[in-house]
A and B are shown apart, each in its own frame.
Chain A
Amino acid sequence: MAYADDGEGGPGDSAGVEAFAADPETGADLAAVDWAATPLGPPAQWPQSLLTAVRILLSSRFSMWLAWGPELTFFCNAAYRRNTLGRKYPWALGRPFPEVWAEVWADVEPLVEGVRSTGEAIWAEGLQLFLERSGYPEETYHTFSYSPLWDEAGTVAGVLCVVSEETERVIGERRMATLRDLGSDAGVVRGVTESLDFHCRQLENNTEDLPFTLTYLYDDEGARLARTTGLPPDHPAAPPRLPAKDPDGVWPVTTLADGTAVTVPLGSGPLAGLPCGAWDQPPEQALVVPLPRPGGSPYGFFVAGLNRYRALDAGYRGFVELVAGHLAAGIASARAYRDQQRRAEELAELDRAKTAFFSNISHEFRTPLTLISGPVEELRRQLPDAAEPVHQELESIQRNALRLGKLVNTLLDFSSIEAGRMQACYEPVDLAAVTAELTSVFRSAVTRAGLAFEVDCPPLTRPVHVDREMWEKVVLNLLSNALKFTFEGSIGVRVREEEDGALITVSDTGVGIPEEEMPRLFERFHRIGGVRARSHEGSGIGLALVRELVTLHGGEITADSAPAAGTRFSVRLPFGSAHLPTDAVQQSATARTGSATAVPYVQEAMRWLPDDEGTGVRDRAEPGVPAAAVVGAPPLAARVLVADDNADMREYLVRILTAAGYEAEAVSDGHTALRAARARVPDLIVSDVMMPGLDGLALLGALRSDTRTAAVPVLLLSARAGQEASIEGLAAGADDYLVKPFAAAELVARVRANVEMSRLRSHHVRWRTALVDTLQEALLVMDEDGVVIEVNTAFTALLGYGPQHLPCPAPHPWWPEAAADPDAHGQVTDAFARLLRLGSGNHTLPFTSLDGRTLWVRAAFNDAHDPDTGRRMIVGTFRDVTAERYASLRERALASLSTRLAESTGLDEALTTAADRLSEQWRAEHVLLAVFTGDDRPPRLTSTAPVGWQDLSADRRRAITGLLGHPPLTPVRDTTGAGVLLEHPDGPMALWIELGDARRFGGEDELLLALLAGHLAQALGRTHQIDQQRETALALQRAILGPSLLPEGFAARYEPATPPLEIGGDWYDVVALPDDRIGIVVGDCVGRGLQAATVMGQLRSACRALFLQDPGPARTLTALDDFASGIPGALCTTVFCGVLDPAAGTLTYSSAGHPPGVLALPDGGVRLLDRGNALPLAIRPGLERPEDVCVLPARSSLLLYTDGLVERRRQSLDTGIARAAAALQSGRDLPARELADHVMAELVPSSGYDDDVALLLYRHPGPLDIAFPAESGQLAVARHALRDWLTLCDLPRRTAQDVLIAAGEACANAVEHGHRAAPGGTIRLSARVSTETVTVTVADTGSWKPAGDPASRALRGRGIGIMRALSDHVTITPGPSGTTVEMHTRIA
C-alpha cells in the first residue's frame, strides 16, 4: 500500500511534494521555490499542519491564499492566481505576505494581526484595495475571510484567506448609480442648456469613474465648449472654442466627427495639471467619445478623464459611451422640444396662410369648376346610350366637381368671415318653419340610411333674425354630420322657444364623440380620427364654419355627446336684432323659394349610402399615407415579425419587407408569435386578424398586457373591409390597420411610419430596457399575484430562466423542490407569501438554477405601481451570495468542529465527536470513520450508527477501502454518499458520509468536507501529540517527583489531573538527614505542563541540598525563598517543610503558604499542623520564617498533601481538609500504603481529579525491619530492637511482652531450623503497628521439617503453642526457600 508508506513515513521529502501534488501546475511552481531560504525551511521540515493547509489550498477551486510562519510566507492556489494575483505570479510564492502585497499591507495588517493574536476568524466585505497585479495600481474590491491556521502546538501559525473579488460588482453598482441618476429626470423636457446642467450635476457625483469631463457641441466653425465637470474655470484643457480645421487642437475635433471614440494621453502641455477627482493622482488618459445623433452626425463630443486605477476595458468604455449617449439623448430631446414648439407656431401660421391662400384661389376655381360641371352634365344628357364605363367616368367627374365646388364655397365663406367681408343680411323669420323646411330636403337620405327622422318644430311666438343662406349652412352641416356618423337609430331636429331666444337642437344616436375630442370639436381642419363613419371624406371645416356662422348671429353652439350613444348640437339664437350690426338688419322678411345651397349636401350624403344609384363606387378608407413618406429616407434597420396562417401571404409579406430592407421573421399563428416576441422583442409585428388558435386581436391583447412587449407597434391585416373592422382593431390597441387587398408600397409605407413612430415613442422604453439589462444585479418584476412578467439578462445569467419562460406564475421553477429539500422549499414559500402580503422585503433564499445548481440569493423586493395600469407590481433584485454564504457556513462548520474537538480528551473521543458533528452537518444517515492500521486486519471503526465493519455491504466496504487509493483530503462521492481520506496517527483513515438517496452532494459540500477533514486530521495529530506530551511529562514528573524508596513508615502518591488537563507542578520529597532524622517536603508550583515540572525539579533539588546543609525547616524555606526568586515561574510556590525525628516522635515544621498537614490520633481525634505558616515562596525573600514542633503520638498518622486533594469548586478548603481527615481516620488501621490509597480513593471527585495531587503519609512509628544471622546468640539483639520498637508503639506492657515472647519463639524456631538447614542463613524480623494491631513477621531461609529427634520435636512444639497462645492470629507459611511466620496481636 503505497499510500500507507508515505503516510506513516511522517513528513519526509515526499510530504511537501505530495502536498504540492494536489495541483500539478501551481504545485510545480511551489516546488520550484527555494524554501530553504525562507523561514519555513525545506518542505521536508514542514509541520503536518502546514502540509495539510497547503493541500487544502491547492485542491480548492475557490480563490485562496495562506500565509505561514513568522514572516507570513505566502502560498496561493490557481484560482487566486487567476483572479487576483495576476503578474505577481509566481514571483509571490514563498515571499513574505507583507512584501507580496506591500501596496495594501498597511490596510490589511490590522486584520491579519488580529487573526494571529486572537485566533478568531474575521470577515470583510467589499474592502477597497489597490493591487499592483496588472502592472499598475488597480482599484479593486474584495470580500474575504481570514481564518487562523493552528500548528501542532496549538498556536496560530498562519492565516488562511478565502477571497472572492467583487471589483466588478462594486464598480458596476457605482456606474449604474450614475446612469440611474442620469435617467432619473427623463420626463422633464428642457432646453439643451438645462439638460446639460442637469446631467453634469449627476456626473459630478461620480468623480471616481469621471474625475473630470468636458462636453463640446459642434457648430459651423468647429466645436464649442458647453459644459465641464471637475475642472476649474479657464483651465487650458478646456478651450472655449475648437476650430474644426486645427489639427493641433487640444482635443481631436476632426477625428471625432466620424463617430469613433479616441483615447488621449494626458499629462503634458495644456493637458498637464488636471484635477484628480476622487483619487490622489490625476488621470493618465481621457476617453473622447462622440455624442451620437440617431441617423446623423454627432451633436458633439464628450471628454471623460479616466480613473487611473482602472483599465479602460469594455465595461469602462461602455459606461462612458452610455453617459455620452445619455447626454446626446438629452440634447436630442431638448432639441426635439424646441423643434416641436417651433412647428406648432409654424402650423398656426400655416393655417392662416392656407386659409388666405384658399380664399384667394377659390375664386379662380369657380370658373373652371363650372366649365367642368356644365359640359359633364351636357355629355350625360347627350350620351344616354353610351357604355356603362363611360357613364361611370362621367359620374365620377361630376361628383368630384360638385365636391370641389362645395369645398370652394365653404372656404370662401371662411375667408369672408375672417376678412370681415361676409355680406350678411339678417331678416326676421319664422325660424321653426324655415328649419323644418330645410330638414325636409334631407328626409329621403335619412330614410334611405334606415334611420328614423324626428322633426319637432312648433311655431315660435317671436321671429328670429337670421341670414337665410347662413342658417341653411348651419342646419345642413349639422344634419350631414349626423347622418355620417349614425348607423342605426334616429336623427332628430327640434326648435324650442326660450326666454331670450330660440333653441335649435340636432341630435343623433350615432357613434358619439370621445370626451377628449370635445374641446377641439369646432377647430378648423380638425378631424376626429379612429371613429366609425360612413365616409372618411371631409375637410374638417364643417363644424368650424357652423360655429363661425352661429357666432355671426350673436348666438352660440354647444355639443354634448356620449360615445356609442349619440351627439346633440344645440344652437341658441337670441330674439330681436339689437345684437346684430344695424346696417345688416332688414326689417322684414324677403320671400325666398327653394335653396340651391342644399343640393350639394344632399347629393354628398346620398353617396355615402349603400344603394345610391349611379355612384357605383364604394368608398373605402383612404390610406392617408403621405406620399412623401413612401419615397423618404431609407428605412431604419428593424426587425418585423409577421404572423399569418396563410403560407402564401406569409411569403408575400416577408418578400415585400425583406425587399424594403427589413429583417423579417414569419410565424404561422398567434401563440408562436407571442413566444417569438417575448424571446426577442421585434420592432414591429404585422399580424393577420383571422388566425386559428390565438387570433390577431387576442395576440394584440396578450402583447399589450406584457410589459416587455406592450410597446411593440402592431399592424393588423384583415380581409374585412369597412369602418367597423378597423375601429375594432384600433380599439384593441393596434397601431395601424390595413385591409386586404393592399398595395406593396402601402404596406411598406405603413411599416416604415410605424417603426419610426415607435422609435420615437419607445426611446424611453429602450433606455429603460438597456438600463435594466446592464444592471449587474438580477432583476425580476412580478405582478401582484406573484406572476413573474419580466426578467433581465443578469437574471438569466444567474438562474438560467429567460424571457421565453415568461409569464411565470408561482411556484416559480427556481424554487427548491418540496420533495428534495422541504426546509428550503418551506423557507421560500413563506418568504413569498409574506412578500405578496407586504409588497417588499429582504430575504436570503436558496434557489435552484435551470441547470440544477443550488444558489443562495440575497433578494430585495419593493413594490411599485405601474403608471399605465395602476396595478401594484413587485420589483425584486437578486444578488448571488452563494460564495459568501457557503464561506460563512464553512467558517461556522469549522468553528463548530474545532470547538468540539478541543473539548475532546483523547483520540477516540475526538473521532466520536467528529463523526457526530459531520453527521449533523450533512444530516447524514450515518458517518463512518475507518482507521486502517495495516496488514489485512479490518479497519477500526467509529460510527454514528451501531454497525461493525462486517455489517456493511460489500460494495460499501469496497468504496471505503477504495478511498485508500485516492490522495488525502480529496473528496470522492457516489450516488448515496461521499468520502475522503485523511491521516490518523495510527494510519490512514477513511471518512465516509452516508447521505441516503435523496440528498445531493455538490462542489460546495466537497470543499467543506475537504476543509473539515483537513481540520480533523490536524486535530487528531494535535490530540495525539498532546497525549504523547502528557505521557512524557507524566513520566518525567514521576521520575523527578520523589525517591522511589521511601523510608519505613512513609507512603506517597502522585495523581496527575484527569486527561486532557495537563500535569502540574506538585511534588513531595523525603530526605534522610544525619542523626536518623528525616526531612519531609511537599510542594506545589504554579502552572502546568513541562514548564511547571521543570521549576518543580529545580526547587526540589534545591530544597534537598538546603536540607542537608542546615536541617531546620524554617531556615531551609528562607534559603529556598532566595533560590526561588531567581527562577522564573517559581513565584508563589507553596511548600510544607518538616524534619521528623522518628525516635523522639517529633516533627519540626514550617509552611510556605501550604495547606496544613493532618495528624490522625489513635484515639480518633485529629490535629492540624497549621502553625509555623507564612507566605508562599519568593514573595518576600529574606523574611524570617516561623517553625513549630509537633509531637507525633505513637500509632498516629500524618498526612501531607497538595491542594488538589482537598480543593473543590464551591467548597471551602476547610471542608476539604475535614474530609481528608475523616478519610485518614476511617483507614487508620490500614498499613501506610493502603491508607494512602484509601485516602486518595475517598477524596477523588466523580470526574477525577482536576488538578494534580501529591500526597505523603507517615505512620508513627515506622515499622521495624531487621535482619540477623541465624544464630542463637543473635536472638537477644533482635529482641532488644523489637523491645525498643514496641516501646515507641506505646503498647500496654503485657501486650508488648506477649508480642516479644511470641516473636522470640518464632525467631528461636527460625534459628533452630535455619541453623540446621543452611548455616549462615539470615532471619528477617519485621513488625508494624496500626492503631489496633501489632503485626510481627519472622522469615527464615530454612524449612521446618520436623527433626528426627522426638524430644526436640516436643520441645519446639511447645514454642509454637506459646506463639499461638500469645497472639490473636498466627500463620505459618512454609515455602521452598524458607518459612514465614506472621503473628497478629490486637492492642488491648
Chain B
Amino acid sequence: MSTQLALHHGRTAEGTAVLIVAGEVDMSNSASLAAAIEGVPGPLVVDLTRVEYLDSAGLNVLFAHADRLELVAPPLLRPVLTVSGLTQLVKVRPAADRDGRAEP
C-alpha cells in the first residue's frame, strides 16, 4: 500500500507551471512525485503547503530537478529543507500554514 499523496497541476498568475502536492512523501510514493515533476518541462513551482511529511526520498526527487524548481513550503517542512541543503539550491517561498498564518 502506498502512502496517501495527491498531485495537482496548475499555473501561477504569472503563468508559471505549478505542482500542488498534498499528503505525505516517502519512499513508497516518491516515484509518483518524480513522474509528476518530470511531466512538466521548464520552470516549475512545487507547492508543498499541504505536505505533512517529506523525507529524504522526496528530497532526492526535488534535488534531481533543483535547477528548474521553486518551492512553496510550510514552516513544518522548513527544517528538513534547510538541513538537507536544498534551500541553498532552490528558491523557497514561505507558505501560510494550515491555519492560514504566515510564517514569521
Complex Cα–Cα for A1305 and B84 (A): 12
Complex Cα–Cα for A1305 and B24 (A): 13
Q: Which A residues are CB-close (under 8 A) to B88? A: none
User: A1349 to nearest B CB, angstroms?
Assistant: 13
Q: Which A residues are CB-close (under 8 A) to B27? A: 1272, 1275, 1308, 1311-1312
Beta-carbon contact of A1308 and B55 below 8 Å: yes
Q: Which B residues are CB-close (under 8 A) to A1301? A: 53-55, 80
| Chain B residue at minimum C-beta to C-beta distance from A1364 | B83
Contact pick for B53, options A1273, A1279, A1355, A1366, CB 8 Å: A1279
User: A1274 to nearest B CB, angstroms?
Assistant: 8
- Segment from B1-9, B11-19, B33-41 that makes contact with A: B1-9
User: B81 to nearest A CB, angstroms?
Assistant: 10
Contact pick for B83, options A1275, A1297, A1355, A1366, CB 8 Å: A1366
Q: Which A residues are CB-close (under 8 A) to B76? A: 1293-1294, 1297
Q: Which A residues are CB-close (under 8 A) to B80? A: 1301, 1362, 1366
Beta-carbon contact of B26 and A1272 below 8 Å: yes
Q: Which B residues are CB-close (under 8 A) to A1300? A: 53
Q: Which A residues are CB-close (under 8 A) to B2? A: 1273, 1276
Beta-carbon contact of A1304 and B53 below 8 Å: yes
User: A340 to nearest B CB, angstroms?
Assistant: 145
Query: Which residues between 1340 and 1376 of chain A lie within 8 Å of chain B, taking CB atoms?
Result: 1355-1356, 1358-1359, 1361-1362, 1365-1366
Complex Cα–Cα for A680 and B76 (A): 129
Complex Cα–Cα for A1275 and B3 (A): 8
Contact pick for A1308, options B26, B79, B83, B84, CB 8 Å: B26
Q: Which A residues are CB-close (under 8 A) to B79? A: 1294, 1297-1298, 1365-1366
One digit per residue, 1 when the CB lies within 8 angstroms of any chain B CB and 0 when it does not, for chain A 1258-1291 equals 0000000000000011111001000000000000
Beta-carbon contact of A1276 and B55 below 8 Å: no
Q: At the interface, yes or no: B87 with Cβ under 8 Å from chain A?
A: no
Q: Which A residues are CB-close (under 8 A) to B22? A: none
Complex Cα–Cα for A1361 and B84 (A): 8
Beta-carbon contact of B84 and A1358 below 8 Å: yes
User: B1 to nearest A CB, angstroms?
Assistant: 4
| Chain B residue at minimum C-beta to C-beta distance from A1358 | B56
| Chain A residue at minimum C-beta to C-beta distance from B28 | A1272
| Chain B residue at minimum C-beta to C-beta distance from A1356 | B56
Contact pick for B28, options A1273, A1293, A1355, CB 8 Å: A1273
User: B24 to nearest A CB, angstroms?
Assistant: 6
Beta-carbon contact of A1276 and B59 below 8 Å: no
Q: Which A residues are CB-close (under 8 A) to B28? A: 1272-1273, 1275-1276
Q: At the interface, yes or no: B32 with Cβ under 8 Å from chain A?
A: no
Q: At the interface, yes or no: B57 with Cβ under 8 Å from chain A?
A: yes
Contact pick for B55, options A1293, A1294, A1362, A1365, CB 8 Å: A1362
Complex Cα–Cα for A813 and B42 (A): 134
Complex Cα–Cα for A1238 and B48 (A): 47
Q: Which A residues are CB-close (under 8 A) to B54? A: 1301
User: B60 to nearest A CB, angstroms?
Assistant: 5
Q: Which A residues are CB-close (under 8 A) to B59? A: 1358, 1362
| Chain A residue at minimum C-beta to C-beta distance from B1 | A1273
Contact pick for A1275, options B26, B75, B84, CB 8 Å: B26
Complex Cα–Cα for A1356 and B56 (A): 8
Q: Which A residues are CB-close (under 8 A) to B26? A: 1272, 1275-1276, 1279, 1304, 1308
Q: How many residues of A contact B (CB 8 A)?
A: 25
A1361/B83 contact (C-beta < 8 A), A1301-B53, A1308-B55, A1311-B27 known: yes
Query: Which residues between 26 and 76 of chain B lie within 8 Å of chain A, taking CB atoms?
Result: 26-28, 53-57, 59-60, 75-76
Complex Cα–Cα for A1305 and B57 (A): 9
Interface-central residue, A1276, A1300, A1355, A1361, by most chain B CB under 10 Å: A1276
Q: Which A residues are CB-close (under 8 A) to B60? A: 1355, 1358
| Chain B residue at minimum C-beta to C-beta distance from A1274 | B1
Complex Cα–Cα for A1312 and B30 (A): 14
Complex Cα–Cα for A1311 and B75 (A): 28
Complex Cα–Cα for A1062 and B67 (A): 78
User: B50 to nearest A CB, angstroms?
Assistant: 15
User: B55 to nearest A CB, angstroms?
Assistant: 5
Complex Cα–Cα for A113 and B26 (A): 88
Beta-carbon contact of A1365 and B83 below 8 Å: yes
| Chain A residue at minimum C-beta to C-beta distance from B5 | A1276
| Chain A residue at minimum C-beta to C-beta distance from B23 | A1276
Beta-carbon contact of A1304 and B55 below 8 Å: yes
Q: Which B residues are CB-close (under 8 A) to A1356? A: 56
Complex Cα–Cα for A1308 and B26 (A): 8
| Chain B residue at minimum C-beta to C-beta distance from A1298 | B79
Complex Cα–Cα for A1359 and B58 (A): 11
| Chain B residue at minimum C-beta to C-beta distance from A1365 | B83
Complex Cα–Cα for A478 and B2 (A): 174
Q: Which A residues are CB-close (under 8 A) to B1? A: 1273-1274, 1276
User: B56 to nearest A CB, angstroms?
Assistant: 4
Complex Cα–Cα for A1305 and B27 (A): 9
Q: Which B residues are CB-close (under 8 A) to A1361? A: 83-84
| Chain A residue at minimum C-beta to C-beta distance from B97 | A1293
Complex Cα–Cα for A1311 and B83 (A): 23
Complex Cα–Cα for A1293 and B24 (A): 17
Q: Which A residues are CB-close (under 8 A) to B57? A: 1308
Q: Which B residues are CB-close (under 8 A) to A1308? A: 26-27, 55-57
| Chain A residue at minimum C-beta to C-beta distance from B27 | A1272
Beta-carbon contact of A1276 and B56 below 8 Å: no
Q: Which B residues are CB-close (under 8 A) to A1358? A: 56, 59-60, 84
Contact pick for A1355, options B4, B24, B56, B75, CB 8 Å: B56
Complex Cα–Cα for A1298 and B83 (A): 11
Complex Cα–Cα for A1312 and B26 (A): 12
Complex Cα–Cα for A1273 and B27 (A): 8
Beta-carbon contact of B4 and A1359 below 8 Å: no
| Chain B residue at minimum C-beta to C-beta distance from A1300 | B53
Complex Cα–Cα for A1308 and B28 (A): 9
Complex Cα–Cα for A1297 and B80 (A): 9
Q: Which B residues are CB-close (under 8 A) to A1305? A: 55-56
One digit per residue, 1 when the CB lies within 8 angstroms of any chain B CB and 0 when it does not, for chain A 1295-1313 equals 0011011001100100110
One digit per residue, 1 when the CB lies within 8 angstroms of any chain B CB and 0 when it does not, for chain A 1302-1343 equals 001100100110000000000000000000000000000000
| Chain A residue at minimum C-beta to C-beta distance from B59 | A1358
Complex Cα–Cα for A1312 and B79 (A): 24
Q: Which A residues are CB-close (under 8 A) to B4? A: 1276
Q: Which B residues are CB-close (under 8 A) to A1298? A: 79
Interface-central residue, B4, B54, B56, by most chain A CB under 10 Å: B56
Complex Cα–Cα for A1366 and B80 (A): 8
Query: Which residues between 72 and 103 of chain B lie within 8 Å of chain A, taking CB atoms?
Result: 75-76, 79-80, 83-84
Q: Which A residues are CB-close (under 8 A) to B56? A: 1305, 1308, 1355-1356, 1358-1359, 1362
User: B82 to nearest A CB, angstroms?
Assistant: 9
User: A1228 to nearest B CB, angstroms?
Assistant: 28
Complex Cα–Cα for A1361 and B60 (A): 13
| Chain B residue at minimum C-beta to C-beta distance from A1293 | B76
User: A719 to nearest B CB, angstroms?
Assistant: 149
Interface-central residue, A1273, A1275, A1311, A1361, by most chain B CB under 10 Å: A1275
User: B70 to nearest A CB, angstroms?
Assistant: 21
User: A1297 to nearest B CB, angstroms?
Assistant: 5
Q: Which B residues are CB-close (under 8 A) to A1294? A: 75-76, 79
Complex A-B: 10 CB contacts under 8 Å: A1272-B27, A1273-B1, A1275-B26, A1276-B3, A1298-B79, A1308-B27, A1311-B27, A1362-B59, A1365-B83, A1366-B80
Closest 8 CB pairs of A and B: A1365-B83, A1359-B56, A1272-B28, A1276-B3, A1273-B1, A1272-B27, A1304-B55, A1358-B56
For the complex with contacts A1273-B28, A1275-B26, A1276-B26, 17 further pairs of A-B residues with Cβ separation under 8 Å are A1272-B27, A1273-B1, A1273-B3, A1275-B3, A1276-B4, A1293-B76, A1294-B76, A1297-B79, A1301-B53, A1301-B80, A1304-B55, A1305-B56, A1311-B27, A1358-B56, A1358-B60, A1359-B56, A1362-B84
